[in-house]
Amino acid sequence: MNKPLGDITSWVNLKRSLETELSCERPQDWEEHVRDRAYQIWVSEGWPDDAHEDHWRRACQEIELEQRLRLKQ
């Protein structure tokens, strides 16, 4: 499925901001964190096929929310 350019730009910007907020030394650290969360979501939903994009998006959103709440404290 093709995503509009605006969506891609938003995800790139989100990725960059999360890398900074999470104090990741390497982009791979951020990606690993998101991958682990997406895997947890996938398992919790019973290992559905063809849901990887949704799981990745949700993982990014959850991590972003957690980080924003942490920064407010």
Q: What is the DSSP string of 27-50?
A: HHHHHHHHHHHHHHHHHHTT--TT
Q: Is residue 27 part of a domain?
A: no
The domain in which residue 58 lies consists of: 35-73
CA–CA separation, 60 and 18 (whole Å): 9
Tell whether 40 is covered by a domain: yes
Q: Is residue 50 part of a domain?
A: yes
Q: Is residue 21 part of a domain?
A: no
User: What pTM does this model have?
Assistant: 0.60
Residue 22 has pLDDT above 90, yes or no: no
Tell me how many domains the chain contains: 1
Asked if the structure places residue 22 within a domain, the reply is no
What local confidence, expressed as pLDDT, does residue 9 receive?
64
Domain assignment present for residue 20? The answer is: no
Per-residue pLDDT at 71? 79
Q: What pLDDT does 1 receive? A: 44
User: Residue 67 domain-assigned?
Assistant: yes
Residue 21 pLDDT level (bands cut at 50, 70, 90): low
